[in-house]
Amino acid sequence: MVKKYGKGLTQLLENIQDASVTSAPREVMEGTIVYDIEIEKIFPNKNQPRKYFGEEEQKELESSIKVHGILQPLILVKKGEDKYMIVAGERRYRAARASNFKTVPAIVKEGLGDDMIREISLIENLQREDLNAIEEAEALQDLTKLNGYTQEQLADRIGKARSSVANALRLLQLTEEVKSLVRQDRLSAGHARAIVSITNEEDQIDLAYEAADGQMTVRELEHRVRVYKNPPPEKTPMSKEKRARLTLELKNLVDDMKQVFMTKVKVVGNDNKGRIIIDYFSKDDLDRIAELVEFLKDFKNRAE
């Protein structure tokens, strides 16, 4: 039985005339003719939009077709007298060759221009279950550029909700490093959607690696993103009254450091705990501070 394609691909195929093929049809269903085409007469499309074929997934497909055969026919376009180019189904073709199949089931069309071939290839890829989120987004973007579709038109073309298309396309805003994690299946589509709103590239990458390889659930990552975007309020700055309570000894220490380092020095905290911050405003300032530190180190060493 011919396996049904998704809505978009079925609509496209219905409007494309079948090519004349000398082989006897394998079967006919709902007006679709499927032929057994010799595998040696078939060649891949060099402009196939999908460039990455996962080795593990390919091995799984090979194992499946050895047991069950090819359940979904390839889509081919006739080239010359007896050659056929793959429009959709290159993974099945590769698996069949690796399994030493002599023929493969195929639907053969004619009169397809380059744009139509690319659209069919993209839609067929979009309807694959193992397509990762970035590959899906890139295919959607290619379809939009190819035909100038709006998101609503694109959604109708491929049989998906407009919101689903919009959410998928947003993932293209991710940094290349994060996209790579999604392509490698180290980060799920849900994780990717959770961090796409973070515009700072370094922070986005850091969060992605923290969540990668199952280190965080999507819900945990969403919580981290909410905290990142709405951090808890900082502690109230020290009031003038509290600053005035700093001991005279600490104030004198800061004043002495200003004179020694000849630059701005400030203290954050109190007599028990805090930070002393020494600013420098030029290379000369930094060199002078470094010389003083070296002098103090030498003095300490001689004293020991």
For the residues of 153-177, what is the DSSP string, one character each? HHHHHHT--HHHHHHHHHGGGS-HH
Predicted structure pTM score: 0.56
Distance of CA 46 to the CA centre of its chain: 24
Q: Which of 207, 229, 251 is the last residue of a domain?
A: 229
Residue burial 28-48, b: 16+ Cβ < 10 Å; e: rest: eeeebbbbbbebeebeebeeb
| pLDDT reading at 278 higher than 90 | no
Say which DSSP state 131 is in.
-
Q: Which of 126, 154, 185 is the last residue of a domain?
A: 126
The active-site residue, picked from 14, 30, 40, 90, is: 90
The domain of 60 spans 7-126
| pLDDT reading at 5 higher than 60 | no
- What's the structural domain count of the chain? 3
Give the gyration radius of the chain's Cα atoms. Answer: 32
Averaged pLDDT for residues 280-290? 81
Residue 90 known to be catalytic: yes
Residue 90 included in any domain = yes
Are 246 and 208 within one domain? no
Are 119 and 154 within one domain? no
Q: Which of 229, 249, 271 is the last residue of a domain?
A: 229
Asked if 95 contacts 62 with a C-beta cutoff of 8 angstroms, the reply is yes
Structure tokens at 105: 């089931």
Asked if 42 contacts 89 with a C-beta cutoff of 8 angstroms, the reply is no
pLDDT tens digit sequence for 113-137: 788 888 887 887 777 656 788 988 9
Q: From CA 20, how far away is CA 82, in angstroms rounded?
A: 11
Are 213 and 244 within one domain? no
Amino acid letter, 266: K
pLDDT tens digit sequence for 179-217: 999 988 899 999 999 999 999 999 999 999 999 989 899
Q: How many CB atoms lie within 10 A of CB 17?
A: 9
Residue 266 included in any domain = yes
pLDDT tens digit sequence for 40-49: 999 998 877 6
| pLDDT reading at 156 higher than 50 | yes
